[in-house]
Amino acid sequence: MAQLPPVDIFDYIVFGATGDLTMRKLLPALYYRYRDGQIPDEARIIGTARSPLSRADFQGRAEKALHNFVKPADLDPDTARRFLDLVHYVSLNGAEADSTWPALKSLLAEAPADRIRVYYLATAPGLYGQICENLSNQGLVTEQSRVVLEKPIGTDLQSANAINDGVGRHFPENHIFRIDHYLGKETVQNLIALRFANPVFERLWSSDAIEYVQITAAETVGVEGRGPYYDKSGALRDMIQNHLLQVLCLVAMDPPGSLEADSLRNEKLKVLHALRPITPDDVATYTVRGQYTCGKEGDKTLAGYLEDLGEDATSSTETFVAIRAEVHSWRWGAVPFYLRSGKRMAEKCSEIVIQFKAAPWSIFATKPPANRLVIRIQPDEGVTLSVSTKDPTPTDSLALRQADIDIAFEKAFGTRYPDSYERLLLDVVRGDPVLFIRRDEVEAAWRWADPILQGWAEDKVKLEPYPAGSWGPEAARALLARSGHQWHEDMA
């Protein structure tokens, strides 16, 4: 794989630096890029959080994070030590105007004023506007400053607008990087290559040849320690409104004029605008919401969601969603796009299934099944096209057998698949917004999601229980069965 050149020297200032995201994702991702020679030794990673830690304390936490979240074979002690030298810490409450801003200011002032600054907000989204205002009042927003916003951007259109307005008062739109880590996944980016570098697929990419599309992001984990956040969010806000809609956009969009950021984002936006609205009265027809109850994984008993939340908890938050979406456009007509995501499901698997139409007529004794293209986003990243071939076993007739044309990327290219944050964190330094979400995309996604949430809040569709370790409630099967369709795991 061709190595990218190192980026310019930068200061990465992370708000919420003692949190899970920083430890689990940001620091390991920056370590990998440092190890691969893409981060200069003069760069600094400045953690800020309210905890009164010394620089050495924070470096200790960062070291632990590398041990926990970098593969042992990739963790070279000397490289890790040099990487930890880049790490600094300022104890600061970013949401408070009179916090210890002078400490951050003087640390930043040690570098030339035109150094690239990235303010990474890994805090509660409700604080984004306030932090940006404080940065601005402290004179810390320079021409070379960018801000990165973690999802969720709001809990509905109104709150998303409030956040975007708050940040937008201090940073121009082209300096705001709204991260959706699904766009950093190699296999999600590969959709662009697969679709637009291979005319063989693009010619068939419409309702003429495609019966339906499935996009699944299934997880085996429950809510782990994130109950307080998750219970206010639920699967629709946590996964569908952002990650799955972004993947849907890349599957459904028309070819962009170029790979330039706005060219791509304009096409994605058109898809979001073309999504058939699901009104509160439609939710029982087009959506299924579920919540896991206790179940089994082999011999292990898995707790239900309410138990995971804690003693005496009650909740009507969905941990599973299935939706029949449609993209009303000339290309797609009424082709269903089934979206599904859930916690505590049978397997960890994110994939896209393109189910082609069956042949209109069969000259064989048995009708050949329709072709299917499966794009595995994770794990086992790859692409499989199922085809009918002649059964090679000697028979008197021309019998058919199913086989797969299968590319497993890691095996095919012999390369490590980087975590999505690696690419995205340095794209911010490069100032390349192509894999980030523009404000109007966030708005369009909420405009589609809000009426569904409203219908659910009005209890227009039942919350279906499903056992932990299963593929979700039976109603999710029924959603497809109505059109004679099946989820991938149920297909022969």
- Helical pair 261-274 and 245-252, crossing angle rounded to 10 deg: 100
Q: Which is nearer to ligand BG6, 124 or 481 (CB)?
A: 124
Is cis: bond before 152, omega within 30 of 0? Answer: yes
Whether residue 23 contacts residue 31, with contact meaning beta carbons closer than 8 Å, is answered with no
3-class DSSP state of 188:
helix
Q: Which is nearer to ligand BG6, 22 or 134 (CB)?
A: 22
Residue 219 binds to ligand BG6 (criterion: CB under 6 A): yes
Size of the site for ligand BG6 (CB under 6 A): 4
Q: Which is nearer to ligand BG6, 74 or 219 (CB)?
A: 219
328 annotated to bind ligand: no
- The least CB distance from residue 19 to ligand BG6, in Å, is 13
- The least CB distance from residue 8 to ligand BG6, in Å, is 28
- The least CB distance from residue 157 to ligand BG6, in Å, is 19
Whether residue 376 contacts residue 382, with contact meaning beta carbons closer than 8 Å, is answered with yes
Query: Which residues participate in catalysis according to the annotation?
Result: 243
268 annotated to bind ligand: no
Q: Is 35 exposed, middle or buried (0-12, 13-18, 19+ CB in 10 A)?
A: middle
Residue 450 binds to ligand BG6 (criterion: CB under 6 A): no
Question: Which of 75, 217, 321, 354 lies at the binding interface for ligand BG6 (CB under 6 A)?
Answer: 217
Cα separation, 417 vs 377, whole angstroms:
11
Q: Which is nearer to ligand BG6, 115 or 185 (CB)?
A: 185
411 annotated to bind ligand: no
Whether residue 276 contacts residue 326, with contact meaning beta carbons closer than 8 Å, is answered with yes
Query: How is residue 154 annotated by DSSP?
Result: -
Output phi, psi for 399, to 5 deg: -90, 155
Q: Which is nearer to ligand BG6, 43 or 184 (CB)?
A: 184
- The least CB distance from residue 468 to ligand BG6, in Å, is 15
- The least CB distance from residue 184 to ligand BG6, in Å, is 9
Residues facing residue 406 across a β-bridge: 384
96 annotated to bind ligand: no
Give 309's contacts (C-beta < 8 A, 6+ positions apart).
223, 227, 231, 315
* Cβ-closest position to ligand BG6: 238
Instruction: Name residues contacting ligand BG6, limited to 236-275 (CB under 6 A).
Output: 238
* Binding-residue pattern over the window 162 to 201 for ligand BG6, x denoting contact by CB under 6 A: ----------------------------------------
Residue 350 binds to ligand BG6 (criterion: CB under 6 A): yes
Cα separation, 444 vs 435, whole angstroms:
17
Cα separation, 49 vs 52, whole angstroms:
8
Cα separation, 410 vs 186, whole angstroms:
11
Catalog residues that contact ligand BG6 under the rule CB under 6 A: 217, 219, 238, 350
Which residues contribute to the annotated binding site for substrate? 181, 185, 219, 238, 343, 348
